[in-house]
Amino acid sequence: MRLSYKLYPFQSNVEGKKSIGDIIILHGLFGSSKNWVTVAKTLSAFGSVYTLDQRNHGDSPHSSEHSIPLLADDLEEFISDHALKSPILIGHSMGGLVAMYFDFAHPGVLKELIIQDISPRSYPFAYENEIKSMSFSLNGFSSRTEIDTEMAKFLPDTFIRQFLQMSLDRMESGEYRWKLNVSGLNKARRVFESAFSETVISKTKTIFLIGGKSEYITKEDLVLIQKVFSNLVIKIIPEGGHYIHFTHQKEYLQILSDEFALIS
């Protein structure tokens, strides 16, 4: 599947500084390339940055099929179509699962793998309230405020509602629509199950960026991560949760900037 994307070309802020190579960012479930503008602009000081809309998200095509292997196939097609050589791959949540799956299936292709707050294991589809908050008819709503009020009946968390509403689009007719394939994602409730059917060992240089207060990473996950990735660095932002690229952006970008400054 041909994916929509945004490109942030390499723009060195130091005269004579060379690009470290291409950087690809994969968003999480219900996200899009729009969530990564500030991060992408900052990282473009090191190399060209591609922020992808994965299938059923953003401006990419919708499909009735949605699984980690298929998303990894989409990524493979993107890398091939754009002739990207040894890219650095950053993946958050669902995007992190896709990134790990791709790395396991294509050893030696990536220059570096950066995973944000997810482990190579099965996860439950615990997004019932998110789905409900986007499943009512948008006919008759004249403002985002009205839609937000209705969403709050199903999803009290203001932060998550605002995150979801980044995929809320107002058409020329004045009507609203979800760019997300809400019904398709609702039917893909096993997307996070059994994506990793067997234990593999990755030799790719890998960095895990973890929120210290995140519910997505357990002590057992830390053991699993250290078992699977042989060339590993783990960075924990102690007060962070699952969305550290947004809630703790300064610390997040400092970690990546320090890492990228070491790459020649």
Each domain of the chain, given as residue ranges in start order, spans: 5-122+195-261, 128-187
| Residue 195 clears pLDDT 90, i.e. is over it | no
Dump pLDDT digits (tens) for 199-225. 789 999 999 999 999 999 999 999 999
Q: What's the mean pLDDT in 229-241?
A: 97
CA atoms within 13 A on the CB side of 47: 24
Work out the mean pLDDT of the chain and round it to a whole number. 96
Give the list of residues 6+ apart from residue 166 with CB closer than 8 angstroms, or none. Answer: 31, 32, 34, 35
Q: What is the pLDDT of residues 11-31, one digit of tens each?
A: 987 777 899 999 999 999 999
pTM (2 d.p.) = 0.96
Distance CA 154, CA 134 (A): 9
Phi, psi of 39 (to 5 degrees): -60, -45
Query: Percentage of residues in the chain with pLDDT exceeding 70?
Result: 100
Helix or strand run (H / E) with residue 235: strand 232-237
- pLDDT-derived band at 264, boundaries 50, 70, 90: low
Write out pLDDT tens, residues 105-149.
999 999 999 999 999 999 999 999 999 999 999 999 999 999 999
Q: What is the DSSP letter of 263?
A: -
Tokens of 220: 């057992």
Closest CA to 90 of 261, 262, 252: 252
What fold, for 5-122+195-261? Rossmann fold (3.40.50)
Nearest to 255 by CA among 94, 42, 6: 42
Question: What's the CA gap between 106 and 190, in Å, rounded?
Answer: 24
Give the integer Cα–Cα distance in Å for 257 and 134: 36
Q: Is the pLDDT reported for residue 263 higher than 90?
A: no
- Contact assessment for residue 117 and residue 92, using Cβ atoms and an 8 Å cutoff: yes
